[in-house]
Chains A and B, each alone.
Chain A
């Protein structure tokens, strides 16, 4: 089933590789992969590079079909992929290019606590999160919402949480797009998506989703760290979740529809999971309007999860969230499509940028950035596996010039779930984590082995590749202390 890639792959420099468009007649642009020598060996082992070539066949694609160093085999699009299409030239939008978990993303919270302050309370904190945050298969939230309320979430995003007292104005200010995409169209959402979404607000989910208590382990850029209010040994919390069943249903509904409209728009694709339509078409506008609803749902959901984290810390330390200095550094999406202005061949164009397992990484002075980060660039949060570490990076001008302001999104898997479950036992993984002083609670039975640190690429290699290529730069590295897995 796993087919290693045998097509052409040219080394451009230490961090860039090219799949020339001559590889397949239908390719419109080259494939461009960011990776170092070590990572490229692992990337070649599955079908991800073939998928990069397949994406290069999409109508209206500009520059390249990009892949980040954490790329791995997905369905249709690879995970860790970036594709931008030119609307003026019939550029398409593809539900598969966004992924099922629309606006899956991460948020990073800082606290004023240090490692010594939580050492004795760590287990209590992880248990506290376990009891306070609904997680795992089919988890349902304590935050009950009516149909009317759900519609508000879909159009207002994280502002819904603000109106209910689950957010501060500063949280909203430090969320990508201020936690809302304008133009969400609740009428484009199926009844089934509503049904799946209603029960799951304020839930973490299962699989690779998590809440992690971390400590600042290493600082690479003191000045930027200072702007974030971070210093060595300080405690942070990372939340990784998405739009839950709501986004899945939207992706499924529209991928199904678009398989049937391929001939209408004369689109030929090598894999049905790449099904797409011109963004300017009726179907394209409907999907985009529905996708925005899911993006807004996810921003609100991560905000509700942050509220539950705040409550847990407040209870265990018997202090207010303000007294504990809990605030949001940033929240961002890594599965999304957006209309953005970028310069292509010297001309500013409006592009539909698909980031699937890739993170926006806008450089300094971009108008979309919060005032506080104008001079340094957009914060980029890169979660690693639960035993190794995570990073805070910054977007760069080079990313704006080369990758439509985009970088990697995480460690990226290198082992299948089957292989991971075969290679590790729950006791073994727990013991290994305990040896490193990491406390873990998991809602799902298989999560611990399937998400074992060894199932992922080395996060340090991935970050080395994006930093080396210049499409983002390191600020600090975090070490995990306590993990709640879905």
Chain B
């Protein structure tokens, strides 16, 4: 996928992700995260859930929002494939995400992303786009 690339990180999984604006960067980060977890093409948008997050700045906001999404993976066995950002500023995000419960017959799980780290997060402008690195603990 062209909106993100895998980075070399010795211990964990790292990605570099791009978006034309903050909203696109958030959506692309979430899409990339689920692309690492499962073959995204196999996930059907059968239920939708409202997911909000708050933070003190946009780097932390992205981390907190991705962590909220992961909560549904860890506790509710739910994975997502569509992300609709309803409202977004530097400190708040309101989103409606769509996906379904994990079905081991249809979903081949690839990585267990256990946490999103702060380590390399730094949303910045590059070539008229926004970009950041994200390191996931697996």
Query: Which residues of A approach B to under 8 Å, CB–CB?
Result: 1-2, 46, 48, 72-76, 79, 100-101, 136-138, 192, 195-196, 205-207, 245, 248-249, 251-252, 255-256, 259-260, 271-273, 275, 413-419, 444-446
Nearest-neighbour CB distance to chain A for B127, whole angstroms, equals: 17
Within the complex, which residue of A1, A101, A249 is in contact with B8, where a contact is CB–CB below 8 Å? A1
The 8 Å CB contact of B11, one of A72, A275, A419, is A72
Residues of B73-128 at the interface with A, using a CB-CB cut-off of 8 Å, are 73-75, 77, 102, 108-112, 114-115, 117-121
Output the nearest chain A residue to B71 by Cβ-Cβ distance.
Answer: A192
CB <8 Å contact, B74 and A196 = yes
User: Known contacts A75-B135, A137-B111, A252-B67; can you find 7 more A-B pairs with CB under 8 A?
Assistant: A1-B7, A74-B12, A76-B119, A100-B137, A255-B118, A275-B118, A419-B8
Expressed in whole angstroms, the Cα–Cα distance for A416 and B77 within the complex equals: 28
Query: Contacts A207-B138, A446-B111 known; A259 to B14 CB distance under 8 Å?
Result: no
Bound together, the chains give a CA A192 to CA B67 distance in angstroms of 12
**Interface pair B108/A414, CB less than 8 Å apart:** no
Binary A-proximity of B37-53 (CB < 8 A = 1, otherwise 0): 00000000000000000
A-side contacts of B71, CB under 8 Å: 192
Q: List 26 A-B contacts (CB under 8 A).
A: A1-B133, A2-B10, A48-B10, A76-B117, A76-B118, A76-B119, A79-B11, A100-B114, A137-B109, A137-B112, A138-B74, A138-B112, A195-B75, A196-B74, A206-B138, A207-B138, A248-B137, A255-B118, A260-B56, A272-B118, A416-B8, A417-B9, A417-B12, A444-B109, A445-B110, A446-B110
B115 A248 Cβ-Cβ under 8 A: yes
Beta-carbon contact of A75 and B109 below 8 Å:
no
Smallest beta-carbon distance A50→chain B, Å: 12
List of B residues within 8 angstroms of A260 by Cβ: 56
Indicate if the CB atoms of A1 and B16 lie closer than 8 Å.
Answer: yes
Given the interface pairs A100-B115, A273-B118, the reply to whether A445 lies near B109 with Cβ below 8 Å is yes
Q: Taking the nearest CB of chain A, how far is it from the CB of B10, in angstroms? A: 4
Q: Tell me the minimal C-beta distance from B57 to chain A in angstroms.
A: 10
Are A75's CB and B10's CB within 8 A? no
* Residues of A with C-beta under 8 A to B138: 206-207, 417
- Distance, CA A414 to CA B9, complexed state (A): 10
Q: Are A416 and B114 in contact (CB under 8 A)?
A: no
Asked if A259 and B110 make an inter-chain contact with CB atoms under 8 angstroms apart, the answer reads no
Q: Which residues of B contact A271 (CB under 8 A)?
A: 118-119
Which residues on B sit within 8 Å (CB–CB) of A446?
A: 110-111
CA of A136 to CA of B77, assembled, Å:
14
A195 to chain B, nearest CB (A): 5
A100 to B114, CA, bound (A): 9
A195 CA / B77 CA spacing, docked (Å) = 12
Give, as a whole number of angstroms, the nearest-CB distance from B103 to chain A. 12
A445 to B38, CA, bound (A): 11
Contact A73 B10 (CB under 8 A): yes
Least CB distance, A238 to chain B, in whole angstroms: 20
Q: Which residue of B lies closest to A421 (CB)?
A: B6
Contacts of A275 in B (CB 8 A): 118
Contact present for A248 and B114 (CB under 8 Å): yes
- Looking at B8, B71, B111, B114, which has the most chain A CB atoms within 10 Å of its CB? B114
Within B8-44, the residues touching A (CB, 8 Å) are 8-14, 16
**Closest chain A residue to B6 by CB distance?**
A418
- Taking CB atoms, residues of chain B closer than 8 Å to A206 are 112, 138
